[in-house]
Amino acid sequence: MRVKSIVIDGFKSYAHRKELADLSPHFNAITGLNGSGKSNIFDAICFVMGITNLKRVRAEDPRELIFRAGTTGVHAARVTIEFINDDPATAPPGYSCEDYPIITVGRQIKIGGKQQFFLNNAVSMQSKVKRFFESNSLNVDNPHFMVLQGTVHKLIDMRSQVLLSLIEEAVGTKAFDHRRRVAETLIRNKEKKMLEIDQNMETQIGPMLADMKADQEEYHRFLKASANLDVKRRFQLAFEFYERSNLLQEKQESMDRRKEDATHAKGQLEVIPQQEDELTRQLMRLQESIVSPSDAMVTLHEKEGELKKLCSRCQSQIDSCAKTLKHLESQLKGLHQEREKQTKAQLGFMNRRKQHETLLQSIAQERGKVDKLRSALQLAQSGVRAGTSGLSLAEELSEVENQIIRLDSKIQRSKENIVQLTLQLKNAQQRHSQQSGQLLQLKKEMERAQAKFEATSKLYDPLALQEKRLATLKDTISKAKIEFQEAYDSFQREAATSRSFELEFDRRGCPKDVEDKILGRVGELIYPKEDTHKMALMVGAQAQLLRVVVEDDTVAEYVIKHGLRQRTSFLALNQLQKPPGIDPARLETARRITASMNGFMCIASELVEYADPKRMAGLSESTFGNFLVCSTLSLAQELAYNPAVRFKAVSLDGEVAEPNGLITGGSTSHLRDVFTELKTYRERKAPLQAMRIRLIEMEREYHTIRSELERKKHVLNDHRNAEGELEVIKQRLHLVQGSSKSSIDEAEAQLRSGQNALESAEYERRELVERKQQIEKEAAIDPDHSRKELQNQMDTAERTLARLSKEEEVNAGSFERLEADIEQQATDLTTKTREVEDELSQQQRDRVVLQTQLKQAEEELEMVQKECKRSEAHHMQVEREIEEAQAAITGLTERRHSLENTVKNTEIELKELHKIIEGLHRWVREQEKRHNWITQERHQFGDPSGPFFFADTARTQTTLQELRDAEAQAAVMSRRTNKKATILYEERKKEYDELAKQREALGEDKEAIQQCIRGIEVRKWQALDRMVGVVSSIFGKLFSTCLPGATAELVEERDDYHHLSGLAVRVFFNGKVKTSLSELSGGQRSLLALCLILAILRVRPAPIYILDEVDAALDPSHTQNIGRMLQLYFPNSQFLLVSLKDGMFNNANVLYHVRNTQGYSEISRVVNSTKSSIDNTDPTDKQRHISDIS
């Protein structure tokens, strides 16, 4: 433990709060000019440590401790010391480092002398604070840890005996002297007691015994006269002695048995704590182990919830995908149907287009034919031989030959292409045959999936309606809640404009059925049969009409505890007490009185009605069964005051007459029509209540169906899984079939196209060959005949061209419009089909992904649920083990209590037996002591052949009777004998013997105490010799460190008994001894005294050492050496030192500078940035110094 900070506020020269913050754990120095308030800091430390002698802190009056005696507005002085409790070795008892890392102690004094002590910021007793400091060797009344101004100088002039007493006090041998003085006092008390005993024996008991001697002799003469009774009395005494001895033996055996029982019970009690500790540790281990499984279970349940949400989300997404797929499939089916229609329309259009194209080709051919014929005719007219192509026969023949060459090349390429396409077709067919096995496997899987789907559909079909109903209820409940909330808000807005009878409380904090158990106000549930009775019933019931009726008192408790905002009275139907009401005799009298006054009278409960007679009958009797309703006030008075009736009565106009003489009446215009208001409130609330009931019924149905579906969740999951598997297999089959078939179809189409192109090229080549042959024939015909033939052909071609052109003009407009429409429809249909197919494909892929995710999530959910079950089973097992451990602990506790009770009872019995045995022992010893013959003849007790045979009961009783008769005769003789004097003589003799024993015991105690004193003395001198050697060694090392080349030691002075009687100081300089300390300079003597003080402090360590200007008489070199010595030999001690020498405070880790400004002390903190001499020393050398001094 070490000091962290010191806070001074209003103490002496410190008018305001000043703090010595962040004290170094080793060396702290305070410096400042004289009168600046340095020593006031030490006075403040003594003050907070509980000093009572104010002269020790340089004050005569408590007011002097407050700044300027409280005349400047400062009315209190407070000092607080904060300790860091981080070392278990120095921690105060009861203040562990873990529980009290920081300890604060404070003291405050106010004007008027009122003081307060504080421990850890709480008001404490002064004695507690002083005990706290004393437990850490900080006794402020004997402050060995504090060296104030003048202590060093006083030590130099001390005599050897005083110096020895300082060491005795430091090492604790003073306690030996204290114990010796206590022992000597005890011896004196013992001697005084022995003297009193001697005086008592000589002055009181001795003379009295002499006076009683004559009576005793006379009594002996009487005994001699009664000698014939001795034998019988011996027999009686021997019989009693024999009986009591036997009883003593029995009691002793019983006591031994009891002791064995107690020992056995104690042995078991000694084992039970160990068993309890073991069971407790086992229970703690189980309780600790149950925490982590609980956390794991929470994590697993959270994960299970997340996986369930994920499964639900995936399932909903799969359902959504299925719905989308069905919609897209139906949409695609419609598009295919539209495509078929469009295909038919396109076929019709294609036929028409072919016709149109044929017509256009015919027109183009005819136009070309006409042009060619015209050119040929012109060439023929010019004398050139020409054909129908418009070219000369030579040119046309050359053109035909060129075309034949091109066609031959095209035919060759077509044949090569056909070969390649045939090879591709074979490869596609091979791949198709390879995929046939996969297709067969997929078909089988689809058949199995279809069978599984059909099997699950049989179980699912009955649940499909429930699922549909559940979805419908969910939507309906959601809408109903919105409607209910809107209606409730509207109801609340309407209620705001009128009187509200609604209970305002936190409905969310109550159980769900609380709202259903609040039945309503009394005036809502019970209402008049006729409006003419309304006023009388309302006045008679008064505030009871507004009481809230609940089914049981727990409902009222819930409502009240959960934020009820208005003061409300509740009537619990389960706690209703039937009122006494009016007995039939008085009721019959009331009827007679009413008939005599020609009036109307009825019990109020007979004038009301209610919807639920089973539950409301008791409420009606409780509310309206305690008064009568009559026609007039006079009749009401008669019924209330008549001794034969004496019952509260209310007239139809609202006047009230009570048996105690109270009459209430007057205007009723200010009275509120509670029944009407409650009826209006009930009518406004009825639709809202109906909606709430309907909502509750729907929620109940929803939860019922949901529970039913939850119980059959495996059927739903199996059906969905089967449906998903079937759909996935269908898609895979469709994809495999489409890919293989499309490749074959594509190859076959390309092959047919190539073959058609080859056939077309071969056909065109054959036509060209025929044309070539025709041209060669035409070259051999007559030119004139050729011209005529050309003219005829041209005329025919022109007529045909004119006819075809006219036909094309007629059909051109409608064909173009139809072509545009067909193309636009085809484009739109193709685009839409492609979009639908893409979306369908994407949805199918998404569904496959979602089904995979769902399967993975379900598998993980199954694993988590299994883990949850295992965790719950483990948790339950641990709980069972905990219960067993607790039961075992309880059993051990009960057994321990039982054994403790057994031990206590046994101890009580042993005490009683011990008393009995002690009494029997005492009686036996007294008899043996009083009657010596018992010891001598005891062996004959019970011996059949001896005089003391007690087994013969008749003989024994006869002997005892003879003794009683003889004693009766001796009684006559005894009247002349002073038996009282004899008895007193025996008592005084006994008292005399007891005093003699006490004197002997006192002598033994005195001898034992003297031996104890001698032992204490031996231990004292041994401890003192040992500690003087330790202090002398430390003293020499410290002095040689502070004054190099010099050393010092303590010289022992002993008395005749070779005991220490004093200590002197011997100084050596360079190995030469100084004969007297007067040869030393003043600084050397101060240094010598300071080293001796520090050596004594080293023997008796304290958490902090306080040195106040101990270097005042030292020069700078000595001051520097002291600082170095403190750093070397006290590395683990905390010093707070006041010094004016820079050689001293330069070695400090933290320096506090104190200055006085206009009477106010100020403190500034400076951290020493330069390294002291110890910082430059070798660590091994430093450790060597520490080990030497240790």
pLDDT per residue over 791-821, tens digit each? 777 778 778 877 777 777 767 666 667 777 7
* Identical topology for domains 1-145+1102-1190 and 149-204+1003-1100: yes
For Cα atoms 98, 104, 105, give the angle at the middle one, nearest 5 degrees: 135
Measured CA to CA in angstroms, residue 19 lies from 100, 102, 734, 1072 at distances of 22, 17, 90, 49
Angle formed by the axes of helices 174-200 and 160-171, nearest 10°: 90
Given the DSSP bridges, would you call strands 102-110 and 27-32 parallel, antiparallel or unpaired? unpaired
Q: How confident is the model at residue 834 (pLDDT cuts 50, 70, 90)?
A: confident
pLDDT above 50 for 538: yes
pLDDT above 50 for 42: yes
The token pair at 177 is 């002297």
pLDDT above 50 for 781: yes
Q: How confident is the model at residue 116 (pLDDT cuts 50, 70, 90)?
A: very high
pLDDT above 80 for 30: yes
The token pair at 835 is 């979009």
**258/949 Cα distance (integer angstroms):** 32
Cβ-based neighbours of 994, under 8 Å, separated by 6 or more: none
> Residue type for 74, please?
V
Cβ-based neighbours of 328, under 8 Å, separated by 6 or more: 836, 839, 840, 843
CATH number of 149-204+1003-1100: 3.40.50.300
Given the DSSP bridges, would you call strands 146-147 and 1104-1108 parallel, antiparallel or unpaired? parallel
Q: What is the model's pLDDT at position 1175?
A: 46
CA-based nearest residue to 1027, from 170, 106, 280? 170
The DSSP 8-state label assigned to residue 145 in this structure reads: T
The token pair at 804 is 């075809």
pLDDT above 90 for 260: no
* Listed range (186-190, 806-810, 1028-1032) with the worst mean pLDDT: 806-810
pLDDT above 70 for 12: yes
Q: What is the pLDDT of residues 482-495, one digit of tens each?
A: 787 777 777 766 66
Could you tell me if residue 766 is left (phi over 0), alpha (psi between -120 and 50 degrees) or otherwise beta? alpha
The token pair at 876 is 């339950």
Count Cβ atoms below 10 Å from residue 1113 Cβ, excluding itself.
Answer: 19
Asked whether 916 and 251 are in contact (CB, 8 A), the reply is yes
**1050/977 Cα distance (integer angstroms):** 83
Cβ-based neighbours of 468, under 8 Å, separated by 6 or more: none
49 three-state secondary structure: coil
**1065/1026 Cα distance (integer angstroms):** 17
Q: What is the pLDDT of residues 439-496, one digit of tens each?
A: 777 778 888 888 888 888 888 787 788 888 888 888 888 888 778 777 777 776 666 5
Measured CA to CA in angstroms, residue 319 lies from 704, 838, 851 at distances of 23, 19, 10
211 three-state secondary structure: helix
Residue located via tokens 């070695």:
1147
> Residue type for 958, please?
T
Given the DSSP bridges, would you call strands 649-651 and 601-603 parallel, antiparallel or unpaired? unpaired
Q: What is the model's pLDDT at position 179?
A: 67
pLDDT average, residue stretch 1100-1129 = 76
Q: How far is CA 693 from the centre of its chain?
A: 41
> Residue type for 1007, please?
E
Q: How confident is the model at residue 107 (pLDDT cuts 50, 70, 90)?
A: very high
**125/118 Cα distance (integer angstroms):** 8
Q: What is the model's pLDDT at position 84?
A: 92
| 113 phi and psi angles, rounded to 5 deg | 95, 0
| 1131 phi and psi angles, rounded to 5 deg | -70, -25
Cβ-based neighbours of 900, under 8 Å, separated by 6 or more: 269
The token pair at 147 is 């060296």
* CATH number of this structure's domain 1-145+1102-1190, picked from the four choices 3.30.2320.80, 3.40.50.720, 3.30.1330.10, 3.40.50.300: 3.40.50.300
Strands of the sheet containing 18-20, edge to edge, are 18-20, 2-9, 76-84, 102-110, 115-119, 122-124
Residue scoring higher pLDDT (404 or 939): 404
pLDDT average, residue stretch 399-408 = 79
CA-based nearest residue to 339, from 819, 734, 841, 833? 833
Cβ-based neighbours of 386, under 8 Å, separated by 6 or more: 375, 376, 377, 379, 380, 392, 393, 396, 786, 790
pLDDT above 90 for 7: yes
Cβ-based neighbours of 623, under 8 Å, separated by 6 or more: 522, 526, 541, 544, 545, 605
Asked whether 144 and 1103 are in contact (CB, 8 A), the reply is no
| 601 phi and psi angles, rounded to 5 deg | -150, 140
Residue scoring higher pLDDT (686 or 108): 108
Asked whether 98 and 92 are in contact (CB, 8 A), the reply is no
Q: What percent of the chain is predicted at pLDDT more than 70?
A: 81
573 three-state secondary structure: helix
How long a stretch of residues is the chain?
A: 1190
DSSP string, 372-406: HHHHHHHHHHTT--B-TTSSBHHHHHHHHHHHHHH
DSSP string, 30-99: EEE-TTSSHHHHHHHHHHHTT---GGGGT-SSGGGGBGGGGTTS--EEEEEEEEE---TTTPPTT--TTT
The DSSP 8-state label assigned to residue 1159 in this structure reads: T
> Residue type for 539, please?
V
Asked whether 231 and 965 are in contact (CB, 8 A), the reply is no
Asked whether 20 and 1152 are in contact (CB, 8 A), the reply is yes
Q: What is the pLDDT of residues 727-778, one digit of tens each?
A: 777 776 776 665 556 667 777 777 788 888 888 888 888 877 887 777 677 6
Asked whether 299 and 863 are in contact (CB, 8 A), the reply is no
pLDDT average, residue stretch 889-901 = 80
CA-based nearest residue to 1189, from 1135, 1128, 1137, 1133? 1128
Angle formed by the axes of helices 1116-1129 and 1082-1099, nearest 10°: 10
Q: What is the model's pLDDT at position 291?
A: 55
650 three-state secondary structure: strand
Domain spans of the chain, in order of start: 1-145+1102-1190, 149-204+1003-1100
Given the DSSP bridges, would you call strands 18-20 and 27-32 parallel, antiparallel or unpaired? unpaired
* Listed range (289-303, 326-340, 508-522, 915-929) with the worst mean pLDDT: 289-303
How many helices (H) and strands (E) in the chain? 25, 25
Radius of gyration of the chain (CA): 65
* Listed range (142-146, 184-188, 667-671) with the worst mean pLDDT: 142-146
pLDDT average, residue stretch 148-171 = 69
Highest-pLDDT range among 117-131, 515-529, 1031-1045: 117-131
The residues pairing with 29 across neighbouring beta strands, listed in sequence order, are 1137, 1151
pLDDT average, residue stretch 326-339 = 79
9 three-state secondary structure: strand
pLDDT average, residue stretch 1056-1075 = 81
CA-based nearest residue to 541, from 556, 517, 521, 564? 521
Cβ-based neighbours of 344, under 8 Å, separated by 6 or more: none
> Residue type for 160, please?
S
Alpha helix positions (H), 975-1108: 979-1042, 1082-1099
Measured CA to CA in angstroms, residue 879 lies from 208, 386, 504, 871 at distances of 83, 120, 43, 12
DSSP string, 286-339: HHHHHHHHHHHHHHHHHHHHHHHHHHHHHHHHHHHHHHHHHHHHHHHHHHHHHH
Q: What is the model's pLDDT at position 780?
A: 61
The token pair at 63 is 């007011």
* Listed range (192-206, 913-927, 939-953) with the worst mean pLDDT: 939-953
- What's the CA dihedral at 728, 732, 733, 736 to 10 degrees? 170
Residue 480 CB-density burial (10 A; 0-12 exposed, 13-18 middle, 19+ buried): middle
| 562 phi and psi angles, rounded to 5 deg | -110, 60
Highest-pLDDT range among 130-134, 689-693, 700-704, 1161-1165: 1161-1165
> Residue type for 62, please?
P
Element (H, E) at 601: strand 601-603
Highest-pLDDT range among 427-431, 533-537, 1138-1142: 533-537
Asked whether 1155 and 36 are in contact (CB, 8 A), the reply is yes
Dump strand ranges (E) for 483-612: 518-521, 526-528, 548-550, 570-572, 601-603, 608-610
pLDDT average, residue stretch 346-372 = 73
Q: How confident is the model at residue 1171 (pLDDT cuts 50, 70, 90)?
A: very low
Q: What is the pLDDT of residues 953-1004, one digit of tens each?
A: 777 777 777 777 766 656 655 665 655 666 666 777 777 777 777 777 777 7
* Listed range (216-225, 334-343, 833-842) with the worst mean pLDDT: 216-225
